[in-house]
Structure 1
């Protein structure tokens, strides 16, 4: 493996390259944003008006109306973006196939106390694929570890053969200053000058040489592009929870990502991995702002990716979201404990973004990305506050017509996803299979949503109360209550409130309370092997 690859790969035949759809012109993005805004208001306004008419103008009603309006607009925005994504997918894609020219590229695997063996296997597969596609002469693979010192021996053993063969370069930092962003910045200072771009991968993410080659080719031909974020698929699941998450991603992911790419245009986002970043653009974003005060809302930025994308865009570079997910994978949590642990960290990082919304020079779309990250967690306590108001009788529970409207709004994204699903469009047996998958996903989402509602509300309260979750590291040995106990407690509390309020809201609350009461059994079922 050489540090200075040949200058051109134009003569190579690389038929396996996955095409990357060119970025839409700015005018197209502006029209897409207008369409999303109009659709959002169209979907949400009738529900907000109907709720306001029935909530009354008293103290509790005056509180409930803006809460309902906020979350209805949030759900409608997601539905509008999905409808836009469906419209994009229904258009034929004539993106040209192009081979990379051979600009020097680094692939970075970031490791922090994860098992090294799966990463070594993934790096070995990628190295072989790069050799088959003759991309190895312009691409080097690095493993950058921030693991504890006692993990180094196991990591060197796992990567030993690859290191000896010259396929992988391994480095563990003695001091993990700045966590993952600091790890990348440290590599960039030492090695970054030798490469035109870097592909960032987490320990649980994967990328094929074909997908990587397509992104390199796109960046080589788009000199204004500073970052390309690839769409992603979930790796095969090992538990029922993993299968549920994978099914949801496979059905809803394409329309959501296409919609995001369409309205964001040159001001897309970054999800921290499975992305290609131009080194010149990276230098504009490597110094992340430090928030005043202490963690959890102050100190270092925990969710660095959204902020880096905003800084790269502010520096004048395009940030692209490439929805294509073939050859780009990540793993999903297989247990609720692992899911909640990751979600708690994301909650703290996203809530920090509220303090960055007013930074000078950000593109309006970058501010929307930051705001949607904040709302993705604030939505849970807002919904729960509304549920409490309904349960206690302080605000009349929505009638059947309004309830049907809310359910219909929640189903917009799922209907948009099914409308463009290849199986549905083929008809026959394929359509029946796709519809069964859609019904299964809707049922699983209905069971999971109350559990996430309670946990995310708890995470927001924890952050606002000043509890710092820190960064990921080895699991501490501590007693934890059995899975589902907290959710059951919340379900009992809501049931008691509803009974104390006369019980009128019980039928409306049943879809929420019943999964909470069954949470211990539901948790065991979800975490069982797939």
Structure 2
């Protein structure tokens, strides 16, 4: 028979789940590239890249010729020659961005390739996903607020059983560290969820953010099919997170899917200008990059859903020889 005190007994406090280790070997830089098991880029990718790079070179050459004509009136001095060289260098990357954006516009008009389908019912998930929030002397209240919004949206959609939230702290400021722990406890109280929200702080932030993520992969990565990297100021809709997880489940040949981050809630004039610009032509730039980068584009570092096993097998960063900044830990 239960006693009245049974209702007052709480399970032992646990800030972290049981470890589920996953091997993440360090990758030697001198190792030969491994051929992909499946073709991951669209056909004729070389032609796309030749078009973009060739177009950028052509635009730069025309601009350089016009600048040379303007500067060569009366002869080209050493100073004017220096100006011409700097002009070409600075103009080239602008020309590359221009041609890439034009290709992105054409790609959008033509359909833009495979997209994340946001229509229809929210898919059910068969695997577990970890949401990782790396922190380094950030504002704990802001981090906790963002995670609470994400948690509430996942709960509203009935998808919480498939997700765990990890606050991965590399904080060095003792005051911020204490505030982080208080915010973590407050977040658990606010959500009533002790079993899916976790906090881990490293005493030494070895290898910085890359080491922070690698530590999680090696200790808990074996328990999750994929993980989502968030930034300290990231907020994502639960529906988008669920569909990103479902995309990796449906496409076992895909290792990473990243979103196009946009600015929201800007308060200053400059922030509002950036927010407007990102909304207007940000998608065009992103489509352009995707069009000619294919499966070999840059990983932006956050707001990306990553297959855990693939990341562990390929993303162990080595320590470079020599003194900093050219030696030591990468990133």
Q: TM-score range by the shorter chain?
A: 0.7 to 0.9
Task: Give the conservation status (yes or no) of the 8 Å contact 2:146–2:233.
Answer: no
The aligned runs of 1:219-238 (5 Å cut-off) are 219-238=248-267
Task: Give the conservation status (yes or no) of the 8 Å contact 1:163–1:170.
Answer: no
Task: Give the conservation status (yes or no) of the 8 Å contact 2:228–2:306.
Answer: yes
Cα-to-partner distance string for 1:226-255 (whole Å, 9 max, x where unaligned): 221210110211222322222232223111
Q: Which residue of 1 aligns with 2:170?
A: 146
Taking the aligned partners of 2:85 and 2:231, their CA distance within structure 1 comes to: 39
Shift of 1:76: 0.6
Q: Which residue of 2 aligns with 1:211?
A: 240
Off by >6 Å, runs of 4+ in structure 1: none
Cα pair distance change 1:29/1:212, threshold 3 Å: farther
Does residue 163 of the first structure (1) align with residue 163 of the second (2)?
no
What SS does the corresponding residue of 1:234 show, helix, strand or coil? coil
Taking the aligned partners of 2:149 and 2:80, their CA distance within structure 1 comes to: 59
Task: Give the conservation status (yes or no) of the 8 Å contact 1:110–1:180.
Answer: yes
Task: Give the conservation status (yes or no) of the 8 Å contact 1:229–1:269.
Answer: no
Task: Give the conservation status (yes or no) of the 8 Å contact 1:100–1:216.
Answer: no
Task: Give the conservation status (yes or no) of the 8 Å contact 1:289–1:301.
Answer: yes
Unaligned 5+ residue runs, structure 1? 4-22, 303-530
Q: Which residue of 1 aligns with 2:48?
A: 32
Shift of 1:116: 0.9
Shift of 1:209: 1.2
Q: Which residue of 1 aligns with 2:36?
A: none
Of residues 59, 75, 93, the one that matches 1:43 is: 59
Task: Give the conservation status (yes or no) of the 8 Å contact 1:86–1:259.
Answer: yes
Alignment root-mean-square deviation, CA: 2.5
Taking the aligned partners of 1:275 and 1:126, their CA distance within structure 2 comes to: 15
The aligned runs of 1:441-460 (5 Å cut-off) are none
Task: Give the conservation status (yes or no) of the 8 Å contact 1:181–1:286.
Answer: no
- Across the two proteins, how many residue pairs are aligned to each other? 282
Q: Which residue of 2 aligns with 1:70?
A: 89
Does residue 86 of the first structure (1) align with residue 105 of the second (2)?
yes
Unaligned 5+ residue runs, structure 2? 1-16, 19-38
Does residue 280 of the first structure (1) align with residue 299 of the second (2)?
no
Shift of 1:58: 4.9
Taking the aligned partners of 1:237 and 1:146, their CA distance within structure 2 comes to: 27
Does residue 110 of the first structure (1) align with residue 139 of the second (2)?
no
Taking the aligned partners of 1:296 and 1:55, their CA distance within structure 2 comes to: 38
Shift of 1:25: 4.6
Q: Which residue of 2 aligns with 1:137?
A: 161
The aligned runs of 1:246-285 (5 Å cut-off) are 246-285=275-314
Taking the aligned partners of 1:30 and 1:45, their CA distance within structure 2 comes to: 22
